[in-house]
Amino acid sequence: METAGIIPFEQVDIWNVTNGERFSTYALSAPRGSGTVAINGAAARKVQQGDEIIITAFGWMSEKQALHWKPRVVFVDHENRLKPGPHVRRMLAKRETLR
């Protein structure tokens, strides 16, 4: 969550690539470095262990702000560990404090 800039209780959309389901929920943190991605409650019926999912978060901003917006894109492996690569190193080097 930290690398993606998602904060606890932030609304996120889940897009299940495996079965086509799409739904909104909120983010809860797990122990740092655990690789845990868990879907709880009624939404848990929409995702099965091993499904490939995309987690998205959106922001609202002015058109002027949007022209300079740089989205954070995070890729993980089959154990939900950050995939090494220049995009990850850049994000970790530029950690920003969320306000």
Please state the domain extents for the chain.
11-93
Look at residue 13 and tell me whether its pLDDT is greater than 60: yes
- pLDDT at site 3: 87
Average pLDDT of span 54-81: 90
Specify burial of residue 63 (Cβ count, 10 A radius: 0-12, 13-18, 19+).
exposed
Tell me the backbone φ, ψ of residue 16, rounded to 5 degrees. Answer: -85, 110
Task: Supply the DSSP symbol for 14.
Answer: E
Please list, in sequence order, all residues whose beta carbon lies within 8 angstroms of the beta carbon of residue 28, skipping any fewer than 6 positions away. Answer: 8, 9, 38, 40
- pLDDT at site 99: 38
SS3 43: helix
Q: Which fold has domain 11-93?
A: Barwin-like endoglucanases (2.40.40)
Please indicate, yes or no, whether the overall pTM of this predicted structure exceeds 0.85.
no
- pLDDT at site 53: 93
Average pLDDT of span 74-80: 87
Cα 33 from Cα 5, distance rounded (Å): 15
